């Protein structure tokens, strides 16, 4: 019994996560390209309150490769996020860390699965290991608005 209690105590606390599922009106190859080609990503990524033409993306899409995405909000605030690709499967899967430059100690993990669907692609987006529920909720709102832009871009 003491061993079981010790093992439970050593297990890290469950951190908040979110899963968003979207049916996109394009084949997986087109959705994958939108996520992995910097010129395409720059055309759809970012929140609605972003100054036009301020998004910059640098993507080295390979296991161990890094990425950096930056943009300026309507109010002039600068945002930058980056991370490292952990898994890359052409047209099927991207797994990468996600870190905002303003809170580098708060690394989270994004998994994007793309599956062929009758109408195009079923995208299952999982963002895990948030610092707290507030961070999760803010990201859920942000990702939801960004995915509306992705759907319009790939359609």
Return the CATH number at 102.
Answer: 3.30.530.20
Q: Domain for residue 144, yes or no?
A: yes
- pLDDT (tens digit per residue) in 70-82: 999 999 999 999 9
Cα within 13 Å of Cα(1), Cβ side: 0
- The domain total for the chain is 1
- pLDDT (tens digit per residue) in 21-78: 999 999 999 999 999 999 999 999 998 888 878 999 999 999 999 999 999 999 999 9
CA distance 10 to 25: 45
Give me the residue label for tokens 């394009």. 26
Q: Domain for residue 106, yes or no?
A: yes
Q: Domain for residue 9, yes or no?
A: no
Confidence (pTM): 0.89
Q: Domain for residue 20, yes or no?
A: yes
- Domain residues for 124? 15-154
| Average pLDDT, rounded, for the chain | 91
CA distance 26 to 40: 14
Q: Domain for residue 126, yes or no?
A: yes
Q: Domain for residue 3, yes or no?
A: no
């Amino acid at each position: 019994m003491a061993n079981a209690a010790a093992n439970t105590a050593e297990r890290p606390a469950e951190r908040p996560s979110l899963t968003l599922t979207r049916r996109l009106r394009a084949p997986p190859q087109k959705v994958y390209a939108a996520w992995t080609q910097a010129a395409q990503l720059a055309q759809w990524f970012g929140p609605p309150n972003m100054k036009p033409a301020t998004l910059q993306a640098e993507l080295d899409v390979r296991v161990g490769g890094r990425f950096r995405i930056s943009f300026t909000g309507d109010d002039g605030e600068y945002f930058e996020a980056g991370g490292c690709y952990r898994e890359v499967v052409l047209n099927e899967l991207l797994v990468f860390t996600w870190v905002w430059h303003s809170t580098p100690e708060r690394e989270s993990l994004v998994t994007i699965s793309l599956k062929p669907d009758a109408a195009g692609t079923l995208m299952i987006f999982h963002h895990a290991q948030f610092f707290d529920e507030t961070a999760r909720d803010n990201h859920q709102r942000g990702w939801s608005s960004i995915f509306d832009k992705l759907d319009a871009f790939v359609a």
